[in-house]
Structure 1
Amino acid sequence: MKKLLPIILLVLGLGGGVGAGLALRPDPVLPVVEDGMEVDGKAHADSQANEDKEEGPPQGREYVELVDQFIIPVVNDNAVASLILITLTLETDAGENERIFQAEPRIRGALLQAMFDHANIGGFDGAFTNSSKLDPLRKMFVEVAQKVYGEEISDVLIVQITRQDVS
């Protein structure tokens, strides 16, 4: 009986969940057909397309992932206290991929210098992923990238950021 009780409770819980899901499911919307064309289906498709546009990436934009991670040493008391690893992606105008890859060494160099400056002012100390510390870093990335490359770069996305403390 002790082994049977958990199985009975599991089956009852599963059945209750399925029943609640079926009972609370929204009613299906059937398309209205007029002159061989779906009226409601078309309206639904248009509204769905508008929702997708709002949630998806901006139109006319491309994303260029910078190939390698950035590695930034954080120095405290003349010794490396930790290493910061950052992966960045650039949001650019459509058709800029090839030109971005050609200019990548210059862009990487400028972004790396900005990261060193950020580390030197303590930007990677403590809770470095707090928005109060990451927002200025993001803005600085965009300014530096636009200064080096141009207004075609509209944003610099921090895809990954980690800190490895050195013991």
Structure 2
Amino acid sequence: MMRLVLPLLLAVLGLAAGIGGGILLRPGTSPSPSDEAEAVHPGKDDARPAAPRSVDPAEQPDYVKLNNQFIVPIVEKERVASMVILSLSLEVAQGAGQDVYAVEPKLRDGMLGVLFNHANTGGFRGSFTEAAKLVSLRRALLEVAVSVLGPKVTDVLITDIMRQDG
């Protein structure tokens, strides 16, 4: 008799836990007010990020991927030692995407100048993906983008970066 009760009890407990977990994790359920308060003001031991704020769709930026990759040679001892290949996108005001493509040749020219300068000052040597190096590179690229397009550009995103050593 006991041999039947224990497996039956475990099966019932497992079924109850499965149903409870399914209800708790069901998509489309709204969190309780205490969950929302905790997400906005997480405790010091709570590692969950704060809940995202809703943004007015009219304020959402557009992201414009520049058509071609940027290829930057790294010259050492009068020869090309490696190549850095980057893909860039611009964060612009909503509806400004066509403005970017209209001036893309001028934009690319200025950005290539920044990338060549970054390469010549050693920015792509060693751990070239270090946060401080990428922040200064993004800042310089943003300055060029703003000088060409004006304040409708709000950020430059490095979407791909690779160094190929030769």
The question of a shared fold, defined as TM-score above 0.5 by the shorter chain, is answered with yes
Q: Give RMSD over aligned pairs.
A: 3.3
Residues 3-152 of structure 1: pairs in structure 2 closer than 5 A: 26=24, 51=52, 53=54, 59-152=59-152
Alpha-carbon displacement from aligned partner over 1:118-155 (angstroms, at most 9, x marks no partner): 00000000000010211100111111110122111000
> Are the aligned partners of 2:71 and 2:86 in contact in 1 as well (CA < 8 Å)?
yes
Structure 1 Cα separation of the partners of residues 64 and 29 of structure 2? 42
Letter in 2 for 1:104: E
Structure 1 Cα separation of the partners of residues 116 and 131 of structure 2? 19
Letter in 1 for 2:91: E
Structure 1 Cα separation of the partners of residues 108 and 165 of structure 2? 24
* Structure 1 gaps, min length 5: 1-16, 32-39, 45-49
Instruction: Measure how far apart 1:60 and its partner are.
Output: 3.1
Instruction: Measure how far apart 1:58 and its partner are.
Output: 9.0
Structure 1 Cα separation of the partners of residues 143 and 69 of structure 2? 20
Secondary structure of the residue aligned to 1:71 is strand
Structure 1 runs, 4 residues or longer, greater than 2 Å off: 17-31, 50-54, 57-60
Instruction: Measure how far apart 1:19 and its partner are.
Output: 8.8
Secondary structure of the residue aligned to 1:64 is strand
Letter in 2 for 1:112: L
